[in-house]
Amino acid sequence: MNNEPAGDDAPSLVEALYEGESAVVRALRAGAPVEGRAGDGTTALYLAAVEDLPGTVRLLLAAGADPDRPSGPDAADLPLCGAVCGGHTEVVEALLSAGARPDLREGFGFTALRWAAGLGHARIAELLLARGADPGLPGPEGEPPLVVAARRGSAGTVRALLRYGAPGLRQALEEAHRMLAVDVVAELRRALEALHGPGHPSVVRRTPVPGGVLVTVELLRDGVPFLVLARERHAVPQE
């Protein structure tokens, strides 16, 4: 895969993303490289994926953009993983249809399915599995996706993984029971620190979901979230 920086026309394509699909077409016709990058190395395709611009994503792919081309200053980000993190189902579908490989790892060892399991994106997990994602491929913690989905508390994601034969059922059950008794915020912070080290500021968010609450802990870099873990907590029925 060619990771050499694109030429001086790259920023024009990146800027065109925010002006609409017609501007992207004009930039491409004017000779802007389809693998155009911003100054920090972020590719146009990655930006379109994380910004949830499915039409633009399809344009770039049709023009020859590599769906698996890494992005960012350290070439650690993948368009598919970026789309999965945002829950952008239509973009995920477009990238998979263009040949994106669901089991590729990006920075910190994450795969697209690991992100979907950890974030509770059940529909996206189903799409990835239907396109060949390995339901047992461990993430950076060495745990199978089913255990991660159980920890997240996402019943839909757990069901999708089980339909595709995901291993680790006993461990997933044990994890689900364990999480009922823990301090969720402290648990998530410890998990984030294990991935990226201590000392980063964090933000805790609690969002109502049907039957309970979604607890999210975000690690911040320069005030911007760069690593996120979440867990759904549901009320335990009273006898």
Q: At which of 80, 101, 122 does a domain end?
A: 101
So what's the pLDDT on residue 103? 98
* Dist CA 151 CA 146 (whole Å): 9
Single residue among 81, 101, 121 that ends a domain in this structure: 101
Q: From first to last of its 239 residues, what are the pLDDT tens digits of the chain?
A: 333 344 443 447 988 998 999 999 999 999 999 998 888 899 999 999 999 999 999 999 999 999 999 999 999 999 999 999 999 999 999 999 999 999 999 988 999 999 999 889 999 999 999 999 999 999 998 999 999 999 888 888 999 999 999 999 999 999 888 888 888 899 888 888 887 888 889 999 998 877 678 888 999 988 888 887 878 876 544 33
Instruction: List strands edge to edge, sheet with 202-209.
Output: 202-209, 212-221, 224-234
Cα–Cα dist 40/200, whole Å:
22
Query: Which of 144, 160, 181 corresponds to the end of one domain?
Result: 181
Locus of tokens 């990226």: 196
Query: Which CATH number goes with the domain that contains 128?
Result: 1.25.40.20
Find the domain containing 43 and state its range: 1-101
For position 128, what pLDDT does the model report?
Answer: 98
Q: Which of 9, 39, 42 is nearest to 26 (CA)?
A: 9
| pLDDT score at 10 | 41
**Residue 236: what pLDDT?**
46
Burial of residue 51 (CB within 10 Å: 0-12, 13-18, 19+) is middle
197, 172: one domain: no
Q: Is 213 exposed, middle or buried (0-12, 13-18, 19+ CB in 10 A)?
A: middle
Question: Are 164 and 189 part of one and the same domain?
Answer: no
The confidence score (pLDDT) of residue 234 equals: 66
Taking the model in full, what pTM does it have? 0.81
Q: How many folded domains does the chain comprise? A: 3
Check residue 176 and give its pLDDT: 86
Q: Are residues 23 and 84 in the same domain?
A: yes
